[in-house]
Amino acid sequence: MCTINRLASYVYGLTFIVLALPGICLATDTININGSGSALDMMKPMIAAYQKSNKNVHINMDKPLGSSGAVKALLAGALDIVLSSKPLKPEEIAKGAQLQVYGKTPLVIITEKHVRKANITTAELEDIYFGKTYTWAGGETIRLVMRPSEDVDSKIIGTLSPGMTTAIRAAQTRPGMLVAVTDPEAYTAISKTPGAIGATGLTSIITEKLAVASLALNGVIASTQALAKGSYPLSKEISIVTTPKTSPATQKLINFMLSSQGRSIADKAGLLVTIGQTTHK
């Protein structure tokens, strides 16, 4: 009896020590997240706030696969939630993908921080993409950092004007152009390339504290307030994509994102939260 009591005391004491030790991971749930780079940047402060009161949840968020790649991974069972900047394709919906619009962030025209320019017009952008304008006013060579033709950022910038759409196509056929596949690749290239110009979401500028210059577009500074008023023309939608197999742990995180606290975090990160119910089943 004495031996049993000592053993019980030892087990109880060991359990207390394990629970009391800082840094011991007792996570019981894992959530795997991926998607658009601008959306994942917005999720960083969201996750940090969520885990303050949900320390038993382990959240994995690797380098962005992009919206399309992440949805494929979600449907294959490798992810639990996707933050997407694209609408779902019919075949993705048929396979069980469900989309809920969360909000939109301004797509901001940015340059390498030493470029001496505060505002750019649609006409100036067209000339840069067409290759008619090669240098900035200060004499630096303009280095255009583009996204692939199928990328949502290219399509959004193309909505500025019919001429802009044509200019983007012209730039994509010009040899020697810098092309970045993901959001982080794009804003990193712009920040490190003298004279560079491109675009990125306001969420990335705010959360990553990017060392770039943000330009007003046709005299309007990019902000969630300008988006709400309809005065800023370029916006990138961010949606929550799941499947019918969404786990309770994942749904709890989504509920936090939709809560007043989650919406406030997203707003501070540069997202105009709309929480539209565009769900496909």
Angle between helices 183-192 and 37-52 (to 10 degrees): 100
Asked if pLDDT for residue 23 goes beyond 90, the answer is no
| pLDDT score, position 25 | 44
Between 88-92, 111-115, 172-176, 277-281, the lowest mean confidence (pLDDT) is in 277-281
Shortest CA distance to 203 belongs to which of 74, 69, 64? 64
Rounded average pLDDT over 188-203: 98
| pLDDT score, position 8 | 43
**Whole-angstrom distance, CA of residue 210 vs CA of residue 53:** 29
Beta bridge partners of 110: 198, 214
3-state helix, strand, coil in the chain (%, to 5): 40, 25, 35
pLDDT band, very low/low/confident/very high, at 275 (cuts 50, 70, 90) = confident
C-alpha dihedral over 174, 180, 183, 187, to 10 degrees? -90
Instruction: Tell me the C-alpha to C-alpha distance, in Å, between residue 98 and each of 33, 236, 249.
Output: 15, 19, 17
Rounded average pLDDT over 22-50: 86
Q: For the chain, give the mean pLDDT.
A: 90
pLDDT band, very low/low/confident/very high, at 131 (cuts 50, 70, 90) = very high
Asked if pLDDT for residue 277 goes beyond 60, the answer is no
Rounded average pLDDT over 86-90: 96
pLDDT band, very low/low/confident/very high, at 106 (cuts 50, 70, 90) = very high
Between 25-39, 94-108, 188-202, 227-241, the lowest mean confidence (pLDDT) is in 25-39
pTM: 0.86
| pLDDT score, position 281 | 39
C-alpha dihedral over 208, 214, 216, 217, to 10 degrees? -80
| 217-233 confidence digits (pLDDT tens) | 999 999 999 999 999 99
Q: Which domains does the chain have, with CATH numbers?
A: 27-104+236-273 (3.40.190.10), 106-233 (3.40.190.10)
Residue 36 neighbours by CB under 8 Å, 6+ apart: 64, 66, 67, 70, 83, 84, 85, 86, 152, 183, 236, 238
Contact 119, 216 (CB under 8 A): yes
- Count CB-CB contacts under 10 A for residue 210: 19
SS3 178: strand
Asked if pLDDT for residue 157 goes beyond 70, the answer is yes
Asked if pLDDT for residue 148 goes beyond 90, the answer is yes
| pLDDT score, position 12 | 42
pLDDT band, very low/low/confident/very high, at 28 (cuts 50, 70, 90) = confident
Asked if pLDDT for residue 276 goes beyond 60, the answer is no
Asked if pLDDT for residue 245 goes beyond 90, the answer is yes
**Whole-angstrom distance, CA of residue 225 vs CA of residue 231:** 9
Burial degree of 161 (CB within 10 A; 0-12, 13-18, 19+): middle
Asked if pLDDT for residue 4 goes beyond 80, the answer is no
C-alpha dihedral over 267, 115, 153, 71, to 10 degrees? -70
CA dihedral (253, 106, 268, 58) positive or negative: positive
What is the separation, in whole angstroms, between the first and last Cα of the chain?
Answer: 61
